[in-house]
């Protein structure tokens, strides 16, 4: 993956070259441009691409007039049409045309050159806060910066701009704002730039779904998504016999195609994967992010919103919906056999641990039950729980993966469903939102059991590089607990009782399961006392078993 700027090409020249090159590659035929200094790299890039016969460049003096000229081009052609301005008041002059484009559903793209963000607020000449200058008018506001030095990232953002403006997935075209931060020097000869991953958007066929052939060895990556959507994917993967790498809040983590230890098996199987189908919003693991960053395989994102998951900038195809042809059953068999080997090792070694705790919770819930998972390790522990024939309805705040508001979210979900909800979260997440246990006297108390996995701090960090630094880099050993783990001198059970909420403590899987079986109506808390001391060691062991499991079925 070529995502770092190299060579002698000035960064702003490289960025402008990529932006205009990708616009032409995506089918843009006309570009309108006004003269300016900060926008000079974009103007030069337009002239070069016009000389190649790939676009027509239209120069105009006044940005307001240029905006409406581009609007006319876009209205008549039905294609995304960029209008390029320099920074400052020039940008504001596009506002009338952008507003007209929004309500007439015309694919107008405002490409606005900008100063570096470090100059905003410094009273630097011709520097304004351009992000958001059009208010609620654009369908999307996209930012790219020459400081990133990322060819693949730049192309991915331009692709999002054109797909959104054209309405290729949403069938709702309209204006988009692409703000381009350019640092000096602003002139120079561009060297050859990487072409990027070939990219296509599959049109919506008459039947409503694009058929994917059975050819390549395929896996499905399923991230956070609504219940019914996730259940469709579990059934589709099962029928097509395609390995399903499903996060808990995908609601697809069940059935015979789902792989319980996928994130630990992925490194071993990675070289054999030829195609990935991505659905939902995957956020939980670095092995999945690495998989979605590969440019040597076909990555198909299934999304109709225009905001498909593309964390590695390597998506090669976007489709609004798909139908899956049956895959090679031997391919799924290898994943299943490795998962069974890995599962046996995990289950044999499990006593009272975070993984055992979440497995105990998961095992008590059926298809009609509701589970809310907190951020950090609780949802990741659920991500290695055994796979069953059914899954509860799972919710999690994975939009931005924050720890805040999880108890309140669970209460809102319970209020909608009108049935008991179990929330499983860590001690720091619980303390962050502990006041949500307070319910106004005249309001209905939600039916929520909050299970707090209390391991005295942020255990997720111990499995990341900060945990490794704790044992290998001198003074960092003393800093880890204070800067990352942040153990709190708070008795979670006592605080919950202070809100008048009944509390049970559990120090074993048996006690935890018994507490869940005894739960009554209303709010209650179960505090599961756990240790995090061996969290990093455990993670390394799971990874080692994953490698061994793959070798056991491929050797």
CATH 3.40.50.970 residue window(s) in the chain = 11-194, 354-530
Cα distance between residue 513 and residue 101, in whole Å: 58
Residues 6+ apart with CB under 8 A from 317: 199, 200, 201, 202, 298, 299, 300, 301
Q: Three-class SS string for 356-382? A: HHHHHHHHCCCCCCEEEECCCHHHHHH
Task: State mean pLDDT over 347-359.
Answer: 86
User: What's the average model confidence in pLDDT over 146-172?
Assistant: 93
DSSP per-residue string spanning 340-361: HHHHHHHHHH-SSSHHHHHHHH
Cβ-defined contacts of 224-231 (< 8 Å, 24+): 224/249, 224/250, 224/280, 224/281, 224/282, 224/283, 224/396, 224/398, 224/399, 225/249, 225/250, 225/251, 225/252, 225/279, 225/280, 225/281, 226/251, 227/251, 227/393, 227/394, 229/279, 229/280, 230/280
3-state helix, strand, coil in the chain (%, to 5): 40, 15, 40
- Which residues are within 8 A (CB) of 379 and not within 5 positions of it... i.e. 6 or more apart? 247, 248, 249, 284, 373, 396, 398
* E strand or H helix that includes residue 59: strand 56-59
pLDDT of amino acid 2: 47
- Taking CA atoms, 481 is separated from 34, 404, 461, 478, in Å, by 55, 21, 10, 7
Q: How far apart are CA 527 and CA 517, in angstroms?
A: 15
Q: Give tens-digit pLDDT for 444-464.
A: 999 999 999 998 876 677 777
pLDDT score for 1: 40
The structure tokens listed for 248 are 């808990």
Strands 176-181 and 140-145: parallel
pLDDT tens, position by position, 363-398: 999 999 999 999 999 999 999 999 999 999 999 999
Average pLDDT over residues 127-135: 90
The rounded mean pLDDT for the chain is 91
What is the per-residue DSSP string for 461-508? GGGSHHHHHHHHSTTHHHHHIIIII---S--HHHHHHHTT--EEEESS
pLDDT band at residue 476, thresholds of 50, 70 and 90? low
Read off the pLDDT of each residue in 409-413 and give the average, rounded to a whole number.
96
pLDDT tier at 467, thresholds 50, 70, 90: low
* Percent of the chain predicted with pLDDT > 70: 96
Query: Cα-flanking dihedrals φ and ψ of residue 367, to 5°?
Result: -65, -25
Pick the closest to residue 252 from 523, 34, 243, 503 (CA basis).
243
State the Cα–Cα distance between residues 314 and 2, nearest whole angstrom: 10
* In contact, 205 and 319? CB cutoff 8 Å: no
CB 421 within 8 A of CB 446: yes
Mean pLDDT of 351-373: 92
Which residue in this structure is represented by tokens 């994130």? 263
What mean pLDDT is predicted for residues 27-56? 96
**What pLDDT is attached to residue 528?**
95
Residue 204: which pLDDT band, with cuts at 50, 70 and 90?
Answer: confident
State how far the Cα of 264 lies from the Cα of 254, in Å rounded to an integer: 18
**For residue 126, what are the CA distances in angstroms to 59, 88, 113, 147?**
21, 5, 11, 19
Nearest-angstrom CA–CA distance, 84 and 112: 6
Nearest C-alpha neighbor of 410 from the set 282, 505, 528, 523: 523
Phi, psi (rounded to 5 degrees) for 57: -100, 130
Q: Is the pLDDT of residue 406 over 50?
A: yes
pLDDT band at residue 488 using 50, 70 and 90 as cut-offs? confident
Whether residue 7 is predicted with pLDDT greater than 80 in this model: the reply is: no
- pLDDT tens string 87-120: 999 999 999 999 999 999 999 999 999 998 888 8
- Phi, psi for 221 (deg, rounded to 5): -105, 120
Q: Where are the alpha helices (DSSP H) in 5-62?
A: 11-25, 40-51
CATH topology of domain 354-530: Rossmann fold (3.40.50)
The SS3 assignment for 521 reads coil
The b/e string for 503-518 (b: 16+ C-beta within 10 A; e otherwise) is bbbbeebebbbebbee
Token pair of 324 as six digits? 């899956």
Tell me: pLDDT of 474 over 70: no
Kindly report the three-state secondary structure assignment for every residue of 246-289.
ECHHHCCCCCCCECCCHHHHHHHHHHHCCEEEEECECCCCHHHH
Query: Per-residue pLDDT averaged across 220-235, rounded?
Result: 96
Q: Is the pLDDT of residue 281 over 60?
A: yes
pLDDT of residue 217 exceeding 90, the answer is: yes
DSSP labels, 109-164: EEEEEE--GGGTTTT-TT----TTTTTT-SSEEEEEEGGG--HHHHHHHHHHHHHH
CATH superfamily of the 11-194 domain: Thiamin diphosphate (ThDP)-binding fold, Pyr/PP domains (3.40.50.970)
What is the rounded CA–CA span in Å between residue 330 and residue 354? 34
Locate CATH 3.40.50.1220 in the chain. 210-329
pLDDT at 349 over 90: no
Task: Name the class of domain 210-329.
Answer: alpha beta
Taking only Cα atoms into account, the Rg of the chain, rounded to an integer number of angstroms, comes to 26
């Amino acid at each position: 993956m070529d995502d770092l700027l190299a060579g002698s090409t000035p960064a702003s020249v490289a960025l402008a070259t990529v932006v205009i090159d990708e616009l032409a590659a995506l089918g843009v035929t006309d570009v309108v441009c006004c003269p300016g200094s900060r926008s000079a790299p974009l103007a030069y890039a337009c002239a070069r691409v016009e000389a190649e016969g790939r676009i027509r460049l239209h120069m105009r003096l006044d940005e307001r007039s240029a905006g409406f000229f581009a609007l006319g081009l876009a209205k008549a052609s039905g294609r995304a049409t960029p209008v390029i301005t320099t920074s400052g008041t020039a940008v504001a002059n596009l506002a009338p045309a952008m507003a007209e484009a929004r309500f007439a559903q015309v694919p107008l793209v405002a490409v606005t050159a900008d100063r570096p963000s470090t100059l905003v607020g410094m009273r630097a000449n011709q520097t304004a806060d351009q992000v958001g200058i059009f208010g609620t008018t654009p369908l999307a506001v996209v930012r790219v910066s020459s400081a990133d030095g990322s060819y693949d990232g730049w192309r991915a953002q331009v692709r999002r701009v054109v797909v959104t403006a054209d309405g290729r997935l949403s069938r709702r075209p309209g204006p988009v704002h692409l703000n381009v931060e350019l640092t000096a020097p602003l002139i120079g000869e561009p060297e050859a730039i990487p072409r990027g991953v070939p990219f296509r958007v599959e049109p919506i066929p008459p039947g409503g779904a694009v058929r994917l052939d059975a050819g390549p060895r395929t896996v499905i990556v399923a991230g956070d998504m609504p219940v019914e959507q996730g259940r469709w994917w579990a059934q589709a993967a099962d029928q097509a016999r395609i390995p399903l790498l499903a996060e808990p809040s995908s609601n697809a983590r069940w059935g015979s195609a789902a792989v319980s230890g996928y994130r630990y098996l992925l490194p071993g199987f990675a070289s054999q994967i030829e195609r990935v189908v991505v659905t939902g919003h995957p956020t939980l693991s670095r092995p999945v992010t690495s998989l979605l960053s590969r440019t040597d395989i076909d990555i198909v994102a299934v999304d109709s919103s225009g905001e498909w998951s593309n964390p590695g900038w390597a998506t090669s195809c976007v489709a609004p919906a798909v139908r899956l042809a049956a895959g090679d059953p031997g391919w799924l068999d290898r994943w299943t056999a490795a998962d069974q080997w890995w599962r046996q090792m995990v289950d044999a070694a499990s006593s009272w641990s975070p993984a055992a705790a979440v497995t105990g919770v998961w095992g008590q819930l059926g298809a009609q039950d509701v589970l809310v998972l907190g951020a950090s390790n609780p949802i990741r522990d659920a991500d290695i729980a055994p796979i069953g024939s059914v899954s509860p309805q799972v919710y999690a705040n994975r939009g931005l993966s924050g720890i805040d508001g999880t108890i309140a979210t669970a209460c809102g979900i319970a209020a909608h469903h009108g049935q008991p909800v179990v929330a499983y979260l860590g001690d720091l997440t619980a303390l962050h939102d502990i006041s949500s246990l307070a319910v106004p006297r005249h309001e209905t108390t939600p039916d929520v059991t909050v299970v707090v996995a209390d391991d005295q701090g942020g255990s997720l960090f111990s499995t990341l590089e900060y945990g490794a630094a704790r044992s290998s880099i001198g003074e960092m050993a003393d800093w880890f607990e204070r800067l990352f783990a942040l153990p709190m001198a708070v008795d979670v059970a006592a605080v919950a009782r202070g809100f008048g909420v009944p509390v049970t403590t559990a120090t074993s899987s048996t006690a935890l399961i018994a507490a869940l079986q005894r739960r009554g109506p209303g709010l209650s808390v179960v505090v599961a006392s756990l240790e995090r001391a061996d969290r990093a060691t455990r993670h390394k062991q799971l990874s080692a078993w994953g490698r061994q499991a793959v070798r056991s079925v491929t050797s």
